[in-house]
Structure formats: structure tokens, C-alpha cells
Structure 1
Amino acid sequence: MATQTKLVTAEELFNMPDDGYHRYELVRGELRKMAPPGLYHGEYAGNTYLSLGNYVRANNLGKTYTEIGFLIGTDPDHVRAPDAAFISRERLEAIGEGPGYFPTAPALAIEVISPNDRLTRVNE
């Protein structure tokens, strides 16, 4: 007898208590535990975010974010948190900002791939 995985919604993920160590993403309704990134990952992601943010601010293009959830699919819910992301000023004005996950994909998402990341999981 096969067991079914209980699907989790974006709202349930958002309201999960923080365990202080892991972060989670939601792939087609299934929780994916993300291990803390290593030193090189943090350096590359940080430098990328800073460079992107400096450019976006200097040109008044919108806002940059790091490690925030984007609801990129529903039924079942799909929430990803890229290392760096950009949302245009126009899109922010149209959609607005609020609590919870941003309700759509960013204009640009950057994910630093770690040596232990499997390509199939990254592409999901």
C-alpha cells in the first residue's frame, strides 16, 4: 500500500515555526529542507546580491531581495527562495508589497549552486 505525502500550502509553510537552523522551500506542495550554505556559497551569493543591489539602486529600477519566498506556482503550491532576486519598480507598484511571499516570480532570480546540489533538484 503506497503512502501519500501530505501536501503543504504556501500559507502553511509561511506559518511554520523557525527551527533556527534549516530553511524550507516548497516544490509542488512538498517540503524541501535546505541545508545551510557553505562559506564559498555565502561569499558568491553575497557579492552577487551586493552588485545587483548597487546597480538597481543607482538606476532606480526597483528593489533587490535575498532569500525571500516567491510563490511561483499553485495547485499545488510552489515556493522558492533564490539567493538574490530583482523586482522592477513598475511591478512592485502594480502588485504591492505585503506580508507573506511575493505572489509571483521575480523579474530576475539568481541561485548560487553548491557542490552538493543535485541538478534535478535545482531544476524542479
Structure 2
Amino acid sequence: MNDNRPSRDRRLDELAKIEFTGSLGEAFGQYAAALRAVSNRWNTELELASTDVRAALGSMRGRWLGLDAAARRMKARRVARRLKRAQTLAASLTSQAERFPREYARQFLSTLDAAKDQARRINNPEGGQS
């Protein structure tokens, strides 16, 4: 196998390298930052690709795959539209990556803090600090 070409398993090394040991809040923050960086790159790449593909396919001369000029332009628009949808998906992935650590903190850390406070009250009924 050619090692110069990235395989499917190695394309998201930035996300795979993050270890979820120790403080999970920090790990989720690192994961969200890496996911945001990857999805921003995808967003930019797909935006460039959609305009380039439409321009390239629409400007081809001759009979391309047996299609006339109008059919080529229609196919070029269709391909560009699919790339734009993928770009929208990458943009929404970016926004979800920004929400990810906040949602983790809201769902789990507030619950843990409340549980710790309740345990302190149970273990120290006089109300003094432990």
C-alpha cells in the first residue's frame, strides 16, 4: 500500500490523539477545539471546491460524457449544490463543537457539584466547613 496517500484511518489524527484520561472537562475542551479546527478546514475546502467544480465542469468544451452544454451546466450545478450542502454540514459541525464543552459542563459538572454539596451536608450536619 502506498504510505504517501492518507488512509481512511489516519485522516482525523487530531481527534484520535486526544486522550480522555484525567480531567474530562479539559479533554472535552481539547476535543472540541480540535473538532472546530477540522470542521473549519472542511468548511473552507468545500466552499472552494464547490465554486471550482462548477466553473470547471460548466466551462468544458466538446461532448463530455455524451452530454450537451446545457446538461453539463445542469450537472455542474447539481454537484456544486451537493458540495454546498456538505459545506453547510461542516459549518454546523463547527457550531456544535463550540457548544460541546458548555453542554458537558451544564449536564454533568453542575450535577456533580450538587452531589458533592449534598454529600458535604450529609457528612457534616452541623453546617461547618470540612
For this structure pair, what is the TM-score category when the shorter chain's length is used for normalisation? under 0.3
TM-score (ref. length: structure 1): 0.23
Name the one with the larger helix percent: 2
TM-score (ref. length: structure 2): 0.22
Which entry has the higher C-alpha Rg, 1 or 2?
2
